[in-house]
Structure 1
Amino acid sequence: MTGKADFTGIRWWTVEWTMLCTLYLRACESRSPHSILGDRAADEAVRRIDYNFARMRWVVQPSANQYLVALRARQLDLWAADFLARHQDAVVLHLGVRVGARGRRTPGRRVPRAAGGKSFGRQRHRRRAPGHPRREGA
């Protein structure tokens, strides 16, 4: 047991794998000395996941794609911050199931947040995340 969340069962080219690729690319970009996002949460998450990232690296090519993912996320952060500034009664609905850090990256006031998304994310998190209070069998 590595003490890490076991993601080794994620099949390639699935929605879960694509989300993991995006998380990995954000983590790679956050390690850059001139990071666009500074998404340290992505880097911390990747370090806590048991997965063959060396194999993924060969496919997702961080040297070419980490900045594209970061620029897209930065633009979404700006749109979210602008919307929240104009709509004081807004509630943010997270559909990414704990893989994003937009809530921590978006500046401004505290906004009510509601979790949502695919059930696989919630079930995988409960089943696989070491130390999670709702972990099955714990």
Structure 2
Amino acid sequence: MERISIELGNVQETLLSTLYARALETRKRNGILRDPKADEMVRRIDYDFTKFDGSPTLVPSVLRTLILDEWVRGFLSLHPLGTVVEIGTGLNSRFERVDNGRTHWLELDLPDSMDLRKRFFTESDRRRMVAASVLDDSWYGIVRELPPPYFFVSEGVLLYLREEDVRRALRQLAHGFPGCRIAFDTAGRWMVEHQGDEMFMKQIDAEYAWHCDDPGVVQRWDIGLRLAESRTLLQLPRGLRSRLPLLPRVAIAGIRAFYGRKARVYLLNLFESQPSLRASNR
């Protein structure tokens, strides 16, 4: 099988770490996430993924994905004909994991990442791919061509932006799509300040720029967003917790007990833009 060469910017290269995390979890006999598409892509891309082996960020990356998947599924259960917009989609195969056969989907990323993505994924009548930045609103018209309501999900993206850029991006979305939902992850101050520590085995020259320990800060920006839910990576969906093998359950409980608030170095946040999303299009 032909190996695919890549050329990505530093921040965009981080998509390979999260891709590898999903592939490794898929290969486990009792893995908590099944993503055969991720495993396929890792095997085809000409890149030394083994440099990520042993990184303490691999499992948290999978947990983050699982929580966001759960929120998207919840949205689709209420609005099966609605539209999901993935911002900074990278090589994520969320569409393959959660598609209900009826939803519409738009995947957004920078040109180099999108060029790579198109080597593995194709558009359809329900799936579109757009090369653009979250800071640019030129793609909003494409979203509005798709059926509302809208769910925007951004995984591993906003924390690389400056706070003023995060604020601008979220304000544009909230004002451009009243009633939408927006889910994204943040990194706490401790994580941002210690990201270069040897313990994190950092292998890519990309740095977090925005720290946010309290999602209430975003709500207090007064940009039209209301916090609907926030979780740490240790607050797993109920259905997932019950399926975890004993050892991972014990490990998560131990981390929560030992580290306390430091376990909140990553937060997953779900916001609603005003007016609140009420009507279902089932």
TM-score of the pair, normalised by structure 2 = 0.38
Q: Compute the displacement of 1:19 (Å).
A: 0.9
Describe the superposition over 1:20-45 as per-residue Cα deviations: whole angstroms up to 9, x where unpaired. 11101111111111111111111111
User: Which residue in the other structure is 1:69 paired with?
Assistant: 61
User: Which residue in the other structure is 1:115 paired with?
Assistant: 107
8 Å CA contact 2:90–2:109 kept in 1: the answer is no
Higher helix share: 1
User: Which residue in the other structure is 1:94 paired with?
Assistant: 86
Q: Compute the displacement of 1:66 (Å).
A: 3.2
Query: Of 90, 95, 104, which aligns to 2:96?
Result: 104
User: Which residue in the other structure is 2:43 paired with?
Assistant: 47
For the pair 1:29 / 2:25, whether they are aligned, the reply is yes
Figure out how many residues of one structure are paired with residues of the other and give that number.
Answer: 121
8 Å CA contact 2:8–2:113 kept in 1: the answer is no
CA distance in 1, matches of 2:65, 2:43: 20
User: Which residue in the other structure is 1:5 paired with?
Assistant: 4
**Paired AA for residue 40 in structure 1:** P
Query: Of 65, 68, 79, which aligns to 2:71?
Result: 79
TM-score of the pair, normalised by structure 1 = 0.73
Gaps of 5+ in 2: 123-282
CA distance in 2, matches of 1:29, 1:43: 9
**Paired AA for residue 50 in structure 2:** A
CA distance in 1, matches of 2:39, 2:50: 15
User: Which residue in the other structure is 1:20 paired with?
Assistant: 16
Work out which structure has the larger RCO, using CA pairs closer than 8 Å and 6 or more positions apart in sequence.
1
CA distance in 2, matches of 1:119, 1:113: 18
8 Å CA contact 1:29–1:66 kept in 2: the answer is no
- RMSD of the TM alignment (CA)? 2.6
Q: Compute the displacement of 1:114 (Å).
A: 2.0
The residue matched to 1:94 in structure 2 has which SS? Answer: strand
Q: Compute the displacement of 1:92 (Å).
A: 1.5
CA distance in 2, matches of 1:95, 1:31: 27
Q: Compute the displacement of 1:80 (Å).
A: 0.4
Higher strand share: 2
8 Å CA contact 2:86–2:106 kept in 1: the answer is yes
**Paired AA for residue 80 in structure 1:** V
Q: Percent identity?
A: 30
CA distance 1:71–1:125, shift in 2 (3 Å)? closer
Q: Compute the displacement of 1:105 (Å).
A: 1.3
CA distance in 1, matches of 2:40, 2:59: 18
Q: Compute the displacement of 1:121 (Å).
A: 1.6
**Paired AA for residue 31 in structure 2:** S
Gaps of 5+ in 1: 133-138
8 Å CA contact 1:37–1:74 kept in 2: the answer is yes
Q: Compute the displacement of 1:108 (Å).
A: 3.5
